[in-house]
Structure 1
Amino acid sequence: MSGPLDGIRIIDWTIWQQGPVATQMLADLGAEVIKIEERERGDPGRGITAVAGSATNKGGRNYYFEANNKHKKSIALNLKQPEAREIVHRLAARSDVFVQNFRKGVAKRLGLGYADLAAHNPRIVYASASGYGPEGPDSGEPSFDYLGQARSGIMNAIGSGSTTPTYVYGGIADQMGAIMLAYGVLAALFARERTGVGQEVDASHLGSMMALQGLNVVARTIMGKEFPRNTRANAYNPLWNHYRCADDKWISLAMLQPDRYWKDFCEVIGKPELIEDPRFAEVKIRGKNSAAVVAIFDQVFATRPRAEWMRVLKGSRGDFIYTIVNSVTDLPDDPQVRANDYVVDYDHPALGNLTLLGMPVKLSATPGEPRGHAPELGEHTELLLTEMLGYSWDDVARLRDANVI
């Protein structure tokens, strides 16, 4: 089965994570992605040597680059040379999408801005991954994931019991920026099917991370106050909380209508006396005394291992809403993850068997393919020049001698 973007060609002039992940997501959906890399060193993401320890696998392969650049073809160009920019123009004339994530003004100075490429292909979708959006006083400022988390407010929204900003490792601002950029590209491609013309797309760290926190942001804009950074010890609704079990594993409850579940839940956990306790009569009163409830629940859950609590809750009549609290380390072995192919196994030609992220979205007729590997620097340069763009082998030799490729 093919992917929904089969036949779509994307030129990927991006580095690090936000841009590369966006184009990789589109490649997973079947698009052909041609990655333009700097002639000597390539995407600087190839040089990452320390992410959660060593980032270099056997054979010099880099896990960070591999994770962000599956399926792609690599063409290595010296964009300071006019002939290299001409190659990009010829690629753009034969492509559907151009994606870049360099600082504002860089592409235009090199003759690779939207107007430049649209002159060669008015149907092209020109997508930019930015830090803070295309307008405003900081639109030209550089940004990385750390700054995307800082500027968007999420560092002050997560965590509990502290006023210290908290950074989430793994590049979540880059990941969210990538998701929103891919979303924008898909919307622009759909619009082009109806109108016949391309357009510019921008997705920023700031805008994407605000979208991720939508309800919290709107609470501030409409109600005048963001959600508080409460601790689990004083959760207003003790049935919307997480608890440590006897084996130091955690269980999470998510019963948003607590009065509906309160009586059955108290009985199942062996605390029927709480049902008639006036301090816990209904949700508002219970909320005022929530610290006392949480303390009781802490003691109760600490008496049995998590697997046993899962069986108790599953076997009861209460139709409770709950699950385990995973660590990232747990995810690849979670049977629910495996059943839905949220991670998949792949036989990498250089690294052997790897477990990769699968498709987060399921399409029954055109599912896409998450298995693949990243290219070596410039691996497809000659192939693309000769087979797609019509250069002769003498042209290729001349361009190589002139340090264009």
Structure 2
Amino acid sequence: MDMPAKKNILSGYRVLDCSIAMAGPFAAQRLGDLGADVIKVEPVTGEWQRHVSAGGATGNRINVSFLSLNRNKRSLAVDLKSAEGKEVLLELVKTADVFLQNYRPGVAKRLGVDYETLSKINPRLVYVSMSGYGEDGPYVNNPGQDLILQGLSGAMMSTGRAGEAPTAAGQYLVDAVTAYSAFEGALAALLHRERTGEGQLVQTNMLDAITTLQMQELSVFTVGHKEQKRSAEPHAHVFIRAPYGAFATADGYIIIAFPPLKKFGEIIGEESFMTMQDEVDSWTRRDEIFAKTRERLTAKTSEEWLALFRAADIWCGPVYGYSDLVEDAQIKHNETFVEYDHPTEGRVKTPGFPLKFSKTPSEVRMGAPVVGQHTRDVLREAGFSDEKIEALEKSGAILAGSL
């Protein structure tokens, strides 16, 4: 008996993605991975991210940075600063379910695509607005850049050595958590709309997203009244007892996470740990414990130590680079990465969608588009005649690209 075909969970929903850089496009891509028809509304010159390489990585017609954040989207290239271009977008709003933008505060209103304007055209519209610091306030005009927000959030002062420069995350952490906040907000608002029929404005900002991510750490400070105190040794977290961090072995690095000191001392041959109390000395003698652990672990290879620690039920793990990660057995088992053929960039291997649905799975239906690749298709679907589309193209209000 044939099984019924599985549908994507957001099939039938349309998203207008007017965002740039990472956080907004990443959020919109999540919606596209779940089946939404995401139309990337970008200038006729192409979205900013198309012209900025990440890590120096380029592509054929689409650079790696843009490629990674814009799969499962169609590109509509339109000049929103022209009256004709704005008219095109407002027509599309009538059939949209979600409108997502991360313009600087005030820009959407100047362009005439703010929530008040669009909700009058489509009262069922879920309008997601992303910003660096909020829609108003003393920082409203400050640049919302990832590293700046990491520094402002307090997170960087929870790792690294005392007296040395604070330690930044090795990822665009603030952009990523803001993207997830916008993604969650869009889904919650769509659920509300399904129940009530009404759309609404959803606002999220980078500062609040990275601050609330630190729920435990900040509560230790605000409720438990414990200060952030970095150690002389590179302890991995100010609010977790020693030893906790990455340690060199004879041939690499491993992670050790707050083991029982007596058991740990027996394995590594550190007698001083035998008489220490986990919930006393692990805090007051943190640097000493870290240093002694570091000295002992260079005696064996990573594989040897990990085997010993795992046998004793001590929390530990390898420190991977990306070349190790992509070959990891669990990563392969989980099918964490997806692979697909792109018409201009060839075979693409990239992280996929992290959630699994038994009846409505995510899928890669298309790779990132070239600028304006779907302009004609989108406008025809919206009721524009071929003659009107040709006139818009001649006026420069739109760009109809091709592969």
Aligned runs of 1:209-248 on 2, under 5 Å? 209-232=210-233, 237-247=241-251
Q: Amino acid of the residue matched to residue 284 of structure 1?
A: V
Query: What is the distance in 1 between the residues matched to 2:366 and 2:232?
Result: 42
Say if 1:290 and 1:208 are closer, same or farther in 2 by CA, change over 3 A: closer
2:256: which partner in 1? Answer: 253
The residue matched to 1:139 in structure 2 has which SS?
coil
Say if 1:370 and 1:162 are closer, same or farther in 2 by CA, change over 3 A: farther
2:292: which partner in 1? Answer: 296
Aligned runs of 1:350-361 on 2, under 5 Å? 350-361=344-355
2:374: which partner in 1? Answer: 380
Question: Structure 1, residues 323-362: CA drift from partner, whole Å, max 9, x if none?
Answer: 1122344322222222212222222222222220122223
Say if 1:206 and 1:223 are closer, same or farther in 2 by CA, change over 3 A: same
1:364 aligned to 2:365? no
Given that 1:69 and 1:373 are in contact with CA atoms closer than 8 Å, whether structure 2 keeps it comes out as: yes
Q: TM-score, normalised by structure 1?
A: 0.89
1:284 aligned to 2:280? yes
Which of 51, 55, 58 is equivalent to 1:47?
Answer: 51
The residue matched to 1:344 in structure 2 has which SS?
strand
Q: Amino acid of the residue matched to residue 51 of structure 2?
A: G
1:330 aligned to 2:324? yes
Given that 2:9 and 2:35 are in contact with CA atoms closer than 8 Å, whether structure 1 keeps it comes out as: yes
Aligned runs of 1:304-343 on 2, under 5 Å? 304-314=300-310, 316=311, 318-343=312-337
Query: What is the distance in 2 between the residues matched to 1:226 and 1:354?
Result: 46
Question: Structure 1, residues 88-124: CA drift from partner, whole Å, max 9, x if none?
Answer: 1121110100001111111112221111111111010
Which structure 2 segments of 5+ residues have no match? 1-5, 399-403
1:398: which partner in 2? Answer: 391
Say if 1:396 and 1:289 are closer, same or farther in 2 by CA, change over 3 A: closer
Given that 1:145 and 1:172 are in contact with CA atoms closer than 8 Å, whether structure 2 keeps it comes out as: yes
Question: Structure 1, residues 383-404: CA drift from partner, whole Å, max 9, x if none?
Answer: 1111x11111111111112222
Question: Structure 1, residues 348-379: CA drift from partner, whole Å, max 9, x if none?
Answer: 22222222012222323323125741101101
Query: What is the distance in 2 between the residues matched to 1:380 and 1:291?
Result: 59
Q: CA deviation at 1:181?
A: 0.9
* Structure 1 residue ranges (4+ consecutive) displaced by more than 4 angstroms after TM superposition: 231-236
Say if 1:141 and 1:393 are closer, same or farther in 2 by CA, change over 3 A: same
1:112: which partner in 2? Answer: 113
Percentage of pairs with the same residue: 35
Given that 1:343 and 1:357 are in contact with CA atoms closer than 8 Å, whether structure 2 keeps it comes out as: yes
Which structure 1 segments of 5+ residues have no match? none
Residues 236-245 or 116-125, more deviating: 236-245
Query: What is the distance in 2 between the residues matched to 1:233 and 1:136?
Result: 36
Q: CA deviation at 1:192?
A: 1.2
Q: Amino acid of the residue matched to residue 255 of structure 2?
A: S
Given that 2:61 and 2:344 are in contact with CA atoms closer than 8 Å, whether structure 1 keeps it comes out as: no
Residues 238-247 or 303-312, more deviating: 238-247
2:138: which partner in 1? Answer: 137
1:193: which partner in 2? Answer: 194
Say if 1:288 and 1:234 are closer, same or farther in 2 by CA, change over 3 A: farther
Q: Amino acid of the residue matched to residue 394 of structure 2?
A: D
Superposed CA RMSD in Å reads 2.3
Query: What is the distance in 2 between the residues matched to 1:384 and 1:298?
Result: 60
Given that 1:219 and 1:227 are in contact with CA atoms closer than 8 Å, whether structure 2 keeps it comes out as: no
Query: What is the distance in 1 between the residues matched to 2:360 and 2:280?
Result: 49
Say if 1:289 and 1:93 are closer, same or farther in 2 by CA, change over 3 A: same
Q: CA deviation at 1:288?
A: 3.2
The residue matched to 1:333 in structure 2 has which SS?
coil
Given that 1:232 and 1:242 are in contact with CA atoms closer than 8 Å, whether structure 2 keeps it comes out as: no
Q: Amino acid of the residue matched to residue 46 of structure 1?
A: R
Query: What is the distance in 2 between the residues matched to 1:340 and 1:368?
Result: 14
Say if 1:75 and 1:394 are closer, same or farther in 2 by CA, change over 3 A: same
